[in-house]
Chains A and B, each alone.
Chain A
């Protein structure tokens, strides 16, 4: 860890700035990492750490509740198709989604959540409700 990194404390602005130490809930414990980038996914924001781990915003301690999520109709067709192509190529490259906190796990999780919301919520609505 960089000695200059500052920990996100109570009352810190959200999302934290790059270089800050963030604390997040993992499977069985709480972990820390240095924030490199915050990136919007298809539903929620992902926090990318300097070591490459990808943490969904709602797992970060100190995340405001409820977290801000995108609506399915805010995702463009181009963005969705690029996401789908990326997922398929990661799968074909032999990446394992069980590598938790890695890119493939994060992207597949978001894609399944997004696709579920998109079609679950548009069911029984007027045919042009999505666009």
Chain B
């Protein structure tokens, strides 16, 4: 954990997730975050469909996509309504100091 190259990798992951608004999802952002993650999975799946070598990853991407769609369908309508006291800010971008 203390080696410089590892910290750098962890920082990159933190930054990637923070910029995607996925470190700490604000309460009304679930539908939008699910949509964005679905978009990433679909992008990867379309790459995998052009390859013939990694059927296992293709299957797990398709399974993940199915799970996200089920979650979106089940949660979609209800989660668009704000809860009392909740904010309507854009996705929160976290910093380590926060």
Instruction: Give A residues with C-beta under 8 Å from B.
Output: 25, 27, 43, 56, 58-59, 65-69, 77, 80-81, 84, 87-88, 91-92, 96-98, 100, 105, 108-109, 111-113, 115-124, 127-128, 130-131
**CB distance A127 to B54 under 8 Å?**
yes
Q: How many A-B residue pairs have CB under 8 A?
A: 110
In terms of DSSP, what is the predominant structure of the interface of chain B? helix
In the bound assembly, the distance between CA atoms of A105 and B33 in angstroms comes to 13
- Closest B residue to A80 by CB, please name it: B60
**Interface residues of B, CB < 8 Å — how many?**
48
Asked whether A115 and B78 contact (CB < 8 A) given A69-B13, A128-B54, A131-B57, the answer is no
Contact for B43 among A96, A109, A117, A123, CB less than 8 A:
A123
**CB distance B63 to A84 under 8 Å?**
yes
**CB distance A98 to B54 under 8 Å?**
no
**CB distance A115 to B60 under 8 Å?**
no
List 14 A-B pairs, Cβ < 8 Å: A65-B96, A67-B10, A69-B10, A81-B63, A92-B74, A96-B79, A112-B22, A113-B22, A116-B37, A121-B16, A124-B47, A127-B51, A130-B57, A131-B56
| CB-based closest 4 A-B pairs | A127-B54, A91-B74, A119-B44, A98-B27
